[in-house]
Structure 1
Amino acid sequence: MTGTQLSWDDAAGDEALLAPADRLSNWRAFVAPLAAHREVVVKDPEAVRLARDVVAVFAEHSALSGLTRAQLLDLLGPAGRGWPVPVVESRLGLLIDMGFLEPYLLKAHQDRYVVRPAGLAGAFAAERLSLYGGVDELVGLLDRTRELFELADPDPAKALEALQDCRHGLLVFALDLQRQVANATLDELIRTQRRHDRTDFPEQVVALNGLVTRAFSGHLVLEDAATALIEAAQFYRQALLAAVGKILDNGGGSLNLDVLTPAEYHQLTRTAGPEQLGHFGDQLVADAPSPWVDGQAIVDTATEYVPSSPTKGRPTPPEARGDSRSDPFTSLEEAEAHEAVRRQVLVEDLLAGLTENDVTAVLEDQGWPAAARTLVDLLACDEDPKVPVRVELAVPVRVDSTATITYLHRVTLHLSPERGDGG
């Protein structure tokens, strides 16, 4: 790897887009505060691009009095931007009903339209969500908060609200990073980390804290809010470092070439030497492909096959041996006797001279699969009436995702002398 990190623009493009399902989920979350019902967002993410094309058409072809609906159909349809006519008609109707397109004159039966600037902002915001998943909105919030504190006489109430909004935003992103570190696939985690890699939230928060101290020195409420914001930034940084660590650990161990973008690999081919590039193939395994045979070829071969020897002679019977060690029943009895002795020793070790003992900690220390073997031995002893022990499995089961054994009942071993007589 070179010491210079590629810029975000080098990795931008179609590979930076979220998956269609993720884009729709982000858009639904984005409009949820404004929505009247759950079906307010389109189901096809490609349909959102038509709004950008509408903006482009108005910017490039609009007259002083706007564009008519017929002109829009012509400029956006197959002869223009390539959209199917039914799609254009349906989307234009919705954009007009929602106020994205407004009549040029506020009179009835007007057929000339212009783009409302708020709709333009919505189209650009949807595009940012497709690329960065909302990270840019937090960048903008921090910028606006910094500008507020740079005023000659900032309003304390607005300043406090802005600091709290920034803290809440950082915590939401940090908690989402934590969730993805625990549950997301490596590819999803790489995409998320790349969106966050273009930010410098901790540095911005430190600079913002200096502005708070300068503008409101001695204001305890605002200073506490600034301290809480720094703590949130540290929490966010820890979550981001955990994401990077998981990517490097899993990507390196699995030789996953998706850890870098195509643009970054292209940059490496131009700047890195053979020694730096050679390690990509050190552990790759190459083998010639096996011959491909379909089912019909197997049937045809079996039909044409003629055995060289149509009959086989009777096999020579084995000679009788007087050695008792060759008797399978004798071997089985010896194995069972050996297993009984081993389990008896195990039970005595676990009881340690007591009449009952909780062996849960022993199983935890053994780890998987040794604990499973020990538990099977104990249950076999419990089933054997000749072994004077009883096993108690507590209910409910204990679940601990951080333990060596995730699911485990509390296991207690009891000495039962009355069972030893075979009853």
Structure 2
Amino acid sequence: MGDSLHTVTTLPTARRSGCPFDPPEELIQAREHGPISRFPFPDGHQGWLVTGYDLVRSVLADSRFSSRRELMRHHPLVDYGDVEVPPAPPGEFLLMDDPRHSRYRKPLVGRFTVRRMRQLTERVEQITADHLDAMEKAGPPADLVTAFAKPIPSVVICELLGVPYEDRGSFQEHIDKFLGGEAGDEEVLTAYTATQRYLAELVAAKRANPTDDVLSDLTDSDLTDEELRGMALILLAAGFDTTANMLALGTFALLSHPAQLAAWRADPALTDRAVEELLRYLTVAKTFMRTALEDVELGGQTVEAGTTVILSYHTANRDPERFADPHVLDLGRENGGHLSFGHGIHQCLGQQLARVEMRVALPALIDRFPTLRLAVPAGEVGLRPETADIFGVKNLPVTWDA
């Protein structure tokens, strides 16, 4: 552990060649210097980067750190100059503090309980089987992203929210555009606007003719159409993009660690641990930000009021002070407690749904295709850029013995 305070000057930084599952080397080195580093934002604001497990967790549980979008005037990539950042639109509760945050989250909590999500298991099994049947019928090779990883969570979240099946393709395409990290600003804005317009029409349709789904249930409340649209956007994006990338990147990790894959195949009882370990090891939601509302002592440093702090989830989940051999994928690992779903009042609402989808879909895939393997060298698998909010693969060419 170094004595001097470390400074990280650029984010995001590229991952090492041949190490698509590890956080960027610069972030691992920052963690080795200590759990907190200085980070100068492009606009000159002096912020902080937190890489240690305990400190990340403590910030997430501390109401002195805000999630409000209008306080995040600083961005790791962009100098916005004097542009004021507006508050999050109504309903987009990830970028709010209580009490606004609770107004939107509370009505949803009862609809995403462990019990309710487990009741969905049978439907997830059917959706998974349908896509594996189609994949098997088409024969090898296949792009696992389009054949398996995207459609399963897409169908599940659309059914939960009451999005008509025939609209699923365009919604999926728009979400890809504004979360994938590769589209230009204009394309992102166009996709975001189209999604908002579609959701406004969907909310109006649910008010007029409620059906058996979460969005229809919410129309029977004091929430406005604008608020419902914002909530639906958060649920659709989070419920689709994160799980789709976990399924694809998780499969890539398994195919790259054949001994671990063989161990899981040999012992299905490993499933719960295996899923938690993949969530920890891959940490597709890499970083989040908070802003100090007052001066806060953090890791021996004073974070002054108004200062923005970047929380590095992927280095926290690789912290050797929390996890033994953190850079090793060990599907039998017993100590859970990873931060992949966050912590505190903003902990991921859909975490149990994601777990159900992974516990069903990944074992079904490896069971159906015992000879599944990459169809290209690992280095040729297309990765999402580090600028994407959610890390993952753009495509995953696989093959098997038909």
Do both proteins adopt the same fold according to a TM-score greater than 0.5, normalized to the shorter chain? no
Higher RCO structure, 1 or 2 (CA under 8 Å, sep 6+):
2
TM-score range, shorter chain: under 0.3
Higher Cα Rg, which structure: 1
Q: TM-score, normalised by structure 1?
A: 0.23
Q: TM-score, normalised by structure 2?
A: 0.24
Higher helix share: 1
